[in-house]
Every structure is written in C-alpha cells, then in structure tokens.
Structure 1
Amino acid sequence: MSPPLPGPLAPLEPLLGHYGYWAVGAVVLVEDFGVPAPGETILLAAGVYAGAGRLDIVAVAAIAFAAAVIGDNIGYLIGRVGGRAFVHRWGRYVFLTPKRFAAAEAFFARHGGKIVTVARFVEGLRQTNGIIAGTTGMHWRRFLAFNALGAALWVGMWATLAYLAGDHITALYDEIRRYQLYVLIAAALLIAVFALRHFLRRRHET
C-alpha cells in the first residue's frame, strides 16, 4: 500500500500511486517547456515514496534528470524555431504572457548563460529558461551544459531531501523557499562580481 503524502503533496497521491515513475517523468518533462505542471512537487512526492520503500530513489532521480533535460531542450527548440512571435501567440495558453516573458528574457540577458543553472530553482524561470535561451540565440551546447548542471543539482537536492525527510519535507521545503530569495540574490551578486572582474581584466589587457 502506498504511504500517505503530507500536506500539499497529497493531491498527487492517486497520480503517483497509479503511474509511479511514468508520472514523475511526464510531469517534470512537460513543466520544463512551459506547461503549468507541478514538476517540483511531484519530485518531492516521489522522494517521499522512495523513502518509504515504494519507489527506488536512484530511478526517481535518473528519470527526473532525463525528463528535466529533455523538457528544457524541447523548450529551447520551440524558442529557436518559433521565436518571440510563437511565444507571444501561444504563450498565454500556458500562462506565459508577453509581459512575463519579457521580464524573464531581460533577466536572462543581464546574467548570461550561467543563469540557466540557477533558473532551475526559480519558479517561472524553471519553466521558461529553455524557450528564452532559444529565442535569444544562445549556443545549444552551452545551454545543454549549464542546463544539465542545473538539472543535476535540482534533482539531487530535492530528491535527497524528500527521501531523507519523509513526512517532514513540506515544512523543510517551506523553510528553504523562505530563504531562497536571499540565496539567489547572493548568487546574482557573485556572478556580477566575476563578470566585472573579467571585464576589467580584458580592458587592462587591451
């Protein structure tokens, strides 16, 4: 019998209990090219199931990682082929309004390719970073490298915490999300410092 899921994870119990690994892969996959799906939530729920012996944590992590990378690359292809016109026409059906897309694109442009890694942990950017990378013409291999790193960190962190925390994951998740903004600000400042250092070094050399 499947273990009960705590708090906000409970609505995913029928889906995860019936489809198991397929549910994890499918939900994470579609979330990563813009569809409003609970990818992070189902990863947490699968981690709790794995901790209770219902699923294998290695399989959960491997499937979630593969789905995350493939999903973002589908988003990249959409952005690369369809461009802004495609996003502006169809994005509203997945809550990607022109205003929201423009804000995400501006943020992406300011911080460069490294933001692809951090984007995995930011609601909104997690679902759109592939599309934005495609529309801005980011080189695919560079995107793939940063995206794979971000997916590995994201899956590794949430799957491990859910596996170990069990029923306490929702409280732990709320605490982490509370301080997430400060961590992201610190990461952005660190990226800015390295960018400025690189610029000054190049300027000095010339």
Structure 2
Amino acid sequence: MLHDLVEQYGPALVFANVLAASLGLPVPAMPTLVLFGAMAAMHPTSIGTQLLPVLVLAVFATLIGDSVWFMAGRLYGGNTLKTLCRLSLSRDTCVKKTERFFGRWGVRVLAVAKFVPGLSIVSIPMAGAMGTTYRAFLSYDAIGAALWATVGLVLGAVFAPQIDMLFAGASRLGKLTAVVVVALLLLYAAYRWYRRRQLIKKLASARISVDQLYQLMLEKAPPIVLFDIRSREKRTLDPFVIPGSIFADERELDQIVAKYPHDHKIVIYCSCPNEISAAWMAKKLTDAGFSDVVPLLGGLDAWRDAGCELEALVEESDRSIDVHIAPKAV
C-alpha cells in the first residue's frame, strides 16, 4: 500500500511538503525526502525512476518558498525579522546568532543554511533586507537546496533496510503509530512554547518603562549606563540608537564586567519584541555582581513609538558612560 501511494503521489507529496516547510510551516521536509529515497532504493524499477524529478521538484519548491521570505525581507526589512523573532519558539538570542552568521559570511551562507536549524528562516529574509540581488540569492539558495535534497534522498537510499524495518513494525501497530508521533510533536511544541511564555512572564516585572528611563536621563542621577545589544546586522537595518547608548556584545561579558562600575544603574535594550535577549544579559550582569540592571520594556521600538528622540548610529569602540538628554519629539 505504501509502495503504491509513494509511486502515485510521491513527487506531489514531496513538492507540497518541501514548499510548506520553506514557507515556515511546522512540517519538516527531510523525513519525506529520506522516505522517498528509501522507497526508491527498495523499488528501483518503479519509484527509482522518479528520483531525478523529485530532486528537481524539491529544489523548485524550496526556491518558491524561500523567494517569498526573500521578498518579505526586501519589502519590509527589519520588521520581517521582528516577526520571525515573535513567532519563534527559540530564544531571541538564537535569532541574533543567525544574524551574525549571515553578517560574517553574507549570501554564501545560503549554500549550507538548510543544514543548520534556524539559520535558513532568518538568513533568507535578511538577504533581502541587506540588499542582496535576487540573482545572487537564487544562485546560492539553489545550491543549498540541491545539496540538502540530495543528502535526504541519499540517506534514505543508504538506510533503506533499516527504514523498511521501522515501517514494518509501525504497520503492525497500525494507526496508533501515527497518533503517537503526532502527539509527541505537539507535546514538544507545547513544551517549548510554555517555557518561552514562562520566561517572558518571569521577566515582565523586572523592566524599566520608556517614561521611567526618560525621567532618569533628565535627572542625570543616578548615573546610567545604556547598553544597545542589537547585532551589528540589526543596527545596519535600523541605524538609530537611543542617545548616549553604548554598543555591547554579550559574547564579551567579561570585558563589560571589568570595565563598568557595578554600582551604576544599567539599562539594556534590543529590538526583538519580547526583549528576551536584553533580559538574559541583565540576568548575567546581575549574577556577575551589578546591583541594578534592567531591560527596557519594549526596547528600541517602544522608545521610538513614544516619540523620543533618536540619534543616528555612530560606531565607536569606546563611548563615555555619561548619558545625554533625549528630549521628546514635539
């Protein structure tokens, strides 16, 4: 029965599955490619003849879905990345790591992005936002898609006997197998979502509002150190900062701990909707001995939405910790 299903609908199923996965839906496509590769190895005269068409369809489906994200990045820039940050079940710091990875390797990263969890869905819209030409995007994305699909099909062919044994055991259990697999996937997603919501809830009270920060900056007491912890790539897309900000990298935590007074008030902001990156760094600095560290509620977007003045980005290796007054816009 499985043989007939794969022979008749296999290419269409692979195309639909890969397209859905590349659009960002929670439907992994690699297992489908592995299964098709295994079936092709076990039935070379029937399903095996469809290997090349399936590879082409997988690449084509990937390019369609990825092009949608590329154009979203081109049209909406950093807002697309903020949307991904909001929807992701991973910490915002994971999104920042992929931004830095793209910033280091550029569009070439698309040739291997499919093999790194989370990298593809962020690097593709970033390629659009950073002004990559569509031709360059298609070239590297096609290489990556072809490598990724080929690996899936080859893995299926190599491990065909083991996969056949798994399906033989699953067939004896009947529909119960599918129910168990779906239930486990749902439980995993629910667990990740629950942990993320609990972290956000736990950190919600330990923040400073835009109005509170603005008032402290007017009063100039106590001394404030204002850290902008956005990635360099995010700052390129949104080249404005809160006046007096110091660029800080959480990967250089030891240098930060050694450089700044532990009794000064430290305010940290980023640009991801849930400020988890800022809250995470605030916790690290607090654990390192700083007495008063808080994330800015709503981050840079909240400051901008409140009508407060922004400063054009100026990269400096060393900025004074004296905070300039940021008058509200009229």
Is TM more than 0.5 here?
Answer: yes
Show the counterpart of 2:285: none
Amino acid at match of 1:159: L
Contact residue 114 and residue 144 of structure 2 kept, 8 A? yes
Q: 1:144-167 CA distances to partner (integer Å, 9 max, x unpaired)?
A: 111111111222222123124313
Farther off after superposition, 107-116 or 18-27: 18-27
Farther off after superposition, 19-28 or 89-98: 89-98
Q: Are residue 23 (structure 1) and residue 9 (structure 2) matched?
A: no
Say if 1:119 and 1:25 are closer, same or farther in 2 by CA, change over 3 A.
same
Q: 1:82-117 CA distances to partner (integer Å, 9 max, x unpaired)?
A: 222133136533547644332211111111222110
Residue correspondence of structure 1 range 49-88 to structure 2 within 5 A: 49-53=39-43, 55=47, 56-88=50-82
Contact residue 116 and residue 150 of structure 1 kept, 8 A? yes
Q: Are residue 111 (structure 1) and residue 108 (structure 2) matched?
A: no
Q: Are residue 102 (structure 1) and residue 92 (structure 2) matched?
A: no
Number of aligned residue pairs: 159
Aligned counterpart in structure 1 of residue 147 of structure 2, from 134, 153, 159: 153
How far apart, in 1, do the equivalents of 2:157 and 2:18 lie?
Answer: 18
1:68 offset after TM fit, Å?
A: 1.4
Amino acid at match of 1:26: A
Amino acid at match of 1:88: K
1:17 offset after TM fit, Å?
A: 8.5
Secondary structure (helix, strand or coil) at the match of 1:114 reads helix
Percent identity between the aligned chains? 30
Say if 1:86 and 1:40 are closer, same or farther in 2 by CA, change over 3 A.
same
Say if 1:31 and 1:114 are closer, same or farther in 2 by CA, change over 3 A.
same
Aligned counterpart in structure 2 of residue 89 of structure 1, from 78, 83, 95: 83
Say if 1:108 and 1:90 are closer, same or farther in 2 by CA, change over 3 A.
closer
1:73 offset after TM fit, Å?
A: 1.4
Higher share in helix: 1
How far apart, in 2, do the equivalents of 1:23 and 1:94 lie?
Answer: 26
Say which structure, 1 or 2, has more relative contact order (CA 8 Å, 6+ apart): 1
How far apart, in 1, do the equivalents of 2:85 and 2:61 lie?
Answer: 21
1:142 offset after TM fit, Å?
A: 1.0
Contact residue 88 and residue 98 of structure 1 kept, 8 A? no
Amino acid at match of 1:100: C
Residue correspondence of structure 1 range 175-194 to structure 2 within 5 A: none
Residue correspondence of structure 1 range 38-49 to structure 2 within 5 A: 38-49=28-39
Amino acid at match of 2:69: G
How far apart, in 2, do the equivalents of 1:64 and 1:155 lie?
Answer: 7
**Could you state the TM-score of these two structures normalised by the residue count of structure 1?**
0.65
Aligned counterpart in structure 1 of residue 23 of structure 2, from 18, 33, 48: 33
Q: Which has the larger radius of gyration?
A: 2
Where in structure 1 are there 5+ consecutive unaligned residues?
Answer: 4-13, 171-206
How far apart, in 2, do the equivalents of 1:97 and 1:29 lie?
Answer: 25
Higher share in strand: 2
Where in structure 2 are there 5+ consecutive unaligned residues?
Answer: 165-330
Say if 1:62 and 1:89 are closer, same or farther in 2 by CA, change over 3 A.
closer
